[in-house]
Each structure stands twice: as structure tokens, then as C-alpha cells.
């Protein structure tokens, strides 16, 4: 079970003044990890921790005479590492010790403030890289609302497959085309079958969509199946993931082996990984209706029911060539997930499958129960039948060239400090 500690104290403030702004995503209670470099200096990428509008440079911090320097040296085999894989592989007690040292070093009144001030770089002056070398990427399908909405379009008579409520469904994706927020990618081309046609055509996708997912970074790996009660010890943290999807390519190719080129042309993640420890105040009970199949024993534990879900608010918006201001599309919460993160880990490894530090899971499109909580355009526009009207009067059925999709997420509740995920942004360029 998760426990709160001094790092979650909502009264904590930081000597980095911007971290004390009520609406910052990165107060001292968050402390997410990422990989950055100073844009002008073009120096090597290195590990940083977001604090307010700044980034604490951990490699620079190791060169100070502070308790934090010792904690970083103890947590990182290589302080100059260019990915988080090493830290991820060390496991939960190391992550927790480092978080505590960061919290103590960055809080108001810390004796280490003067030594560390020069280690904080403005986020405005940095570029972010993928936080980890992602060996394997698995995409789940954990929203029953999304699965039902999509299933209705493809199979109106039987939207949910008979296995859905028993098995956390997923497929092995590709990691090579995962990019970090800010990426611009070309509209994919491929084979599609026009309505009523008997032979496919080849050309740019005309039904390009986004999927709002939660990304799950694996920490320590495994040599044996991971019991459900230990599953979350193997999760380093969460980020936001856009699993861009070409619906017309998908419809033609997906049977019999599932998603392929409709998905692997681009996937975008937010650069900061919010640790599961930072999310502890925002855990909530997991719900499974009595009338539904109950989880098999290997997917069941008291902690799953008590606090298996993460109450993370998810908001999608769109800016276009005509409107650079972001226009809201939808809002929901990750707490509606039909399967928990721990169940995904336990299920993925139950057959002996190995997970490695830095592996990434997608939750699947995180749609909520109502139509305005849909995590993809295809649900909002009912498969293409009903265009969606944006706040500037433009309509969209699917994405157009020049469109930028922005995901944001945050957690808030009484008695806890609000924390956020930053953003996950990507732009569609014309087909090559």
C-alpha cells in the first residue's frame, strides 16, 4: 500500500520561487524526472528534475558539496547518464531515497540552496529528449468505454470481444518511432479500402486521429512472473502518450493480427515522468461492477481494490493553422480505467515475459464514461458521421495538416498539493 511521507506535505515550499505558484505543474511535491540539455550550449543530454519553471541539473548537483550530491551519486551509477534507464533499474527504495534528498535540498530554508542555485536551468532554455531508451513498447486497451465505442463502429452486433472483461488486452508495438513532446511528423501514407470498394487504394491517410493515453514506464525488470501485490514496485512513473492512429489504414489491416502500420508511424510522449510516489496522494479505489467478471486471482489483491486507480485529470485540446490558441476537445480522468497499472504489469509477466527498465506501456485510449470524455476523435465524431465543432467555428472529422494536438494532465484534491504532468504536444505535417 502506498504511504504518504514528508515529501507530500502540502505546506512545503521551495526556494525556487516559481515552484510555489498555485498553478505550476511542478511544485516541490512533484519532482518528476526527465532528460534535457541547454539549447544554446548544445551540450550532452543529462538527467534533470522539474521544479517550478526550472530544471535541476543532477549531473551539476553531484559536483557540489551537498547531501543531495551524495544521494545522486548513490542513485546513479553514472551521474552523466543520458537516459533514466540506470535509475529505473535500481528500484523503488533508491527512487524514494533520491526523492527525499531532492525534497530536502529544494525546500525553503535548505542549507543547500546557495550551492544548488547555479544547478537550476530555466525550462525555457532547454530542449527535452526521450527520458529513457525504450526497449519494448506495449499498448494496452484498458478503457472499457473506448473499447465499447470503437467496437460498435467495427462490430455493431458485438462491440466487446468475449475476452475483454477477463484479459487486459494489449499488443506489442514498436519503440523506434516514439518521440518526445514538440515533435512534428508527416501524415502517414498506406493502403486503405474506400467505402464500398473491393480493392484498396494507396495514398495519404484521410482519417488521422489521436489517442489520449497514459504512458507507464517500467522500473526494475523481472526474471519471473511479478505477483500482483508487487506489481507497482516495478513501475517507475507515468507520463502522457499520444498514440497517433490512421483509422483508415487500421480498418484495412487490423485483421487478423491487430494494429501494425496504422500505429507505428509516430507516437509522442510528454518529457517528464511523474513518479508513482509523487502520485500517492491521488490514488483511489478501483471499481468493477458486481455484474462483471471479477479478476482472476493473479490479477486480484486487496491493494487493487483499495487504491489501484490513479485519479489523474486528462485534458485534450487542438490548435489549428487558423487558431493558434488551444481549443478544448475533451476532459476525463484516468480513474475510469477498467484495468489497473498493476494488473497490466502482473498480466504482462504472468507467462514469464521479461520487462526491462525503460520499457513503456500505453494504457490504451483513456476514454471516460460519457461522450464528452472520449480520448480519440473517432469516438467524438461517431466514426466520421458527426463532425466536431471547435470553439472558433472550424469543424473536424479527423485531423488536418497543421493541426497540433496538446494533452495536459494534473492531479488535485483537498489536502494535497496540485501536481501536473506538463504537456504532450505534436503537430501533423503534410504527407511526404
Instruction: Point out the residue whose Cβ comes nearest to Mn ion.
Output: 243
As a whole number of angstroms, the distance between CA 129 and CA 328 comes to 27
Burial profile 75-89: b = 16 or more Cβ within 10 angstroms, e = fewer:
bbeebebbbbbbbbb
Smallest distance from the beta carbon of 248 to Mn ion, in angstroms?
16
Q: Is the distance from CB of 403 to CB of 319 less than 8 angstroms? A: yes
Dihedral sign of CA atoms 70, 71, 75, 78 in order: negative
* CB-nearer residue toward Mn ion: 52 or 362: 362
Smallest distance from the beta carbon of 139 to Mn ion, in angstroms?
5
Smallest distance from the beta carbon of 365 to Mn ion, in angstroms?
6
* CB-nearer residue toward Mn ion: 112 or 139: 139
Smallest distance from the beta carbon of 242 to Mn ion, in angstroms?
9
Smallest distance from the beta carbon of 11 to Mn ion, in angstroms?
39
Stretch that binds Mn ion, among 101-109, 128-136, 240-248, 322-330 (CB under 5 A): 240-248
Binding mask 8-47 for Mn ion (x = CB under 5 A): ----------------------------------------
The candidate with the shortest Cα–Cα distance to 32, out of 172, 181, 136, 210, is 181
Smallest distance from the beta carbon of 146 to Mn ion, in angstroms?
9
As a whole number of angstroms, the distance between CA 235 and CA 342 comes to 8
Stretch that binds Mn ion, among 65-73, 179-187, 242-250, 277-285 (CB under 5 A): 242-250
Size of the site for Mn ion (CB under 5 A): 3
State which of positions 342-401 bind Mn ion (CB under 5 A).
none
Q: Out of 57, 136, 209, 211, point to the residue binding Mn ion (CB under 5 A).
A: 211
Other CB atoms within 10 Å distance of the CB of residue 287:
13
Residues β-bridged to residue 408? 315, 423
Distances (CA, A) of 214 to 119, 363, 421: 30, 5, 11
Smallest distance from the beta carbon of 214 to Mn ion, in angstroms?
11
3-class SS of residue 147: helix
As a whole number of angstroms, the distance between CA 75 and CA 69 comes to 10
3-class SS of residue 185: strand
As a whole number of angstroms, the distance between CA 16 and CA 18 comes to 6
The candidate with the shortest Cα–Cα distance to 273, out of 23, 50, 4, is 50
Which three cell numbers, joined as nine digits, stand for 124? 525555457
As a whole number of angstroms, the distance between CA 279 and CA 276 comes to 5
Smallest distance from the beta carbon of 118 to Mn ion, in angstroms?
42
As a whole number of angstroms, the distance between CA 7 and CA 360 comes to 26
Binding mask 94-133 for Mn ion (x = CB under 5 A): ----------------------------------------
**Does the annotation count 146 as an active-site position?**
yes
* CB-nearer residue toward Mn ion: 25 or 359: 359
Q: Out of 112, 139, 183, 232, point to the residue binding Mn ion (CB under 5 A).
A: 139
As a whole number of angstroms, the distance between CA 194 and CA 204 comes to 12
* CB-nearer residue toward Mn ion: 29 or 337: 337
Q: Out of 57, 112, 243, 379, point to the residue binding Mn ion (CB under 5 A).
A: 243
* Phi, psi angles (nearest 5°) of residue 209: -135, 165
* CB-nearer residue toward Mn ion: 211 or 232: 211
* Phi, psi angles (nearest 5°) of residue 233: -65, -20
The candidate with the shortest Cα–Cα distance to 89, out of 222, 216, 215, is 222
Stretch that binds Mn ion, among 190-198, 214-222, 238-246, 424-432 (CB under 5 A): 238-246
Stretch that binds Mn ion, among 151-159, 236-244, 312-320, 344-352 (CB under 5 A): 236-244
Stretch that binds Mn ion, among 137-145, 181-189, 283-291, 392-400 (CB under 5 A): 137-145
User: Which of 146, 336, 347, 348 does the annotation list as catalytic?
Assistant: 146
Smallest distance from the beta carbon of 211 to Mn ion, in angstroms?
4
As a whole number of angstroms, the distance between CA 299 and CA 410 comes to 27
Count of residues for the chain? 432
Which H or E run includes 137? strand 137-140
Stretch that binds Mn ion, among 25-33, 207-215, 220-228, 352-360 (CB under 5 A): 207-215
Is 209 a binding residue for Mn ion by CB under 5 A? The answer is no
Active site residues per annotation = 146
Residues making contact with Mn ion (CB under 5 A): 139, 211, 243
Amino acid at each position: 500500500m502506498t504511504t504518504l511521507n514528508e515529501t507530500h506535505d502540502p505546506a512545503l515550499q521551495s526556494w525556487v520561487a516559481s515552484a510555489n505558484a498555485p498553478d505550476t505543474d511542478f511544485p516541490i511535491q512533484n519532482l518528476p524526472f526527465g532528460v534535457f540539455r541547454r539549447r544554446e550550449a548544445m551540450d550532452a543530454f543529462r538527467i534533470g528534475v522539474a521544479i517550478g519553471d526550472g530544471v535541476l541539473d543532477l549531473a551539476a548537483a553531484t559536483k557540489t558539496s551537498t547531501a543531495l550530491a551524495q544521494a545522486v551519486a548513490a542513485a546513479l551509477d553514472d551521474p552523466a547518464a543520458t537516459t533514466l534507464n540506470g535509475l529505473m533499474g535500481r528500484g523503488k527504495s533508491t527512487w524514494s531515497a533520491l526523492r527525499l534528498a531532492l525534497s530536502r535540498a529544494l525546500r525553503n530554508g535548505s542549507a543547500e540552496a546557495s550551492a544548488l542555485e547555479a544547478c537550476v536551468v530555466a525550462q525555457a532554455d532547454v530542449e527535452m529528449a526521450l527520458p529513457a531508451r525504450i526497449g519494448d513498447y506495449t499498448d494496452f486497451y484498458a478503457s472499457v468505454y473506448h473499447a465499447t465505442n470503437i467496437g460498435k463502429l467495427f462490430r455493431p452486433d458485438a462491440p466487446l470481444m468475449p475476452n475483454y472483461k477477463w484479459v487486459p488486452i494489449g499488443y506489442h508495438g514498436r519503440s523506434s518511432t516514439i518521440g518526445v513532446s514538440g515533435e512534428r511528423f508527416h501524415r502517414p501514407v498506406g493502403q486503405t479500402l474506400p467505402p464500398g470498394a473491393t480493392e484498396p487504394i494507396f495514398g495519404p491517410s484521410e482519417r488521422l486521429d489521436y489517442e489520449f493515453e497514459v504512458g507507464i514506464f517500467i522500473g526494475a525488470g523481472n526474471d519471473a512472473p511479478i505477483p500482483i501485490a508487487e506489481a507497482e514496485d516495478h513501475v517507475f512513473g507515468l507520463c502522457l502518450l499520444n498514440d497517433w492512429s490512421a483509422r483508415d489504414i487500421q480498418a484495412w489491416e487490423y485483421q487478423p493480427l491487430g494494429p501494425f502500420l496504422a500505429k507505428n508511424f509516430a507516437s509522442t510522449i510528454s518529457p517528464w515522468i511523474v513518479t508513482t510516489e509523487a502520485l500517492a496522494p491521488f490514488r483511489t479505489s478501483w471499481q468493477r461492477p458486481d455484474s462483471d467478471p471479477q479478476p482472476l486471482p493473479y490479477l486480484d489483491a486487496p491493494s487493487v481494490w483499495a487504491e489501484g486507480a490513479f485519479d489523474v485529470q486528462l485534458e485534450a485540446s487542438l490548435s489549428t493553422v487558423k487558431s493558434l490558441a488551444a481549443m478544448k476537445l475533451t476532459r476525463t480522468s484516468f480513474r475510469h480505467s477498467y484495468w489497473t497499472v498493476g494488473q497490466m504489469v502482473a498480466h504482462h509477466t504472468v507467462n514469464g515475459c521479461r520487462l526491462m527498465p525503460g520499457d513503456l506501456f500505453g494504457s490504451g485510449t483513456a476514454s471516460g464514461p460519457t461522450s464528452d470524455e472520449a480520448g480519440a476523435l473517432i469516438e467524438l465524431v461517431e466514426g466520421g458521421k458527426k463532425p466536431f465543432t471547435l470553439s472558433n467555428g472550424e469543424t473536424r472529422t479527423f485531423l488536418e495538416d497543421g493541426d497540433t494536438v496538446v494533452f495536459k494532465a494534473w492531479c488535485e484534491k483537498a489536502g494535497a498539493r496540485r501536481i501536473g504532468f506538463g504537456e504532450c504536444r505534436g503537430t501533423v505535417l503534410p504527407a511526404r
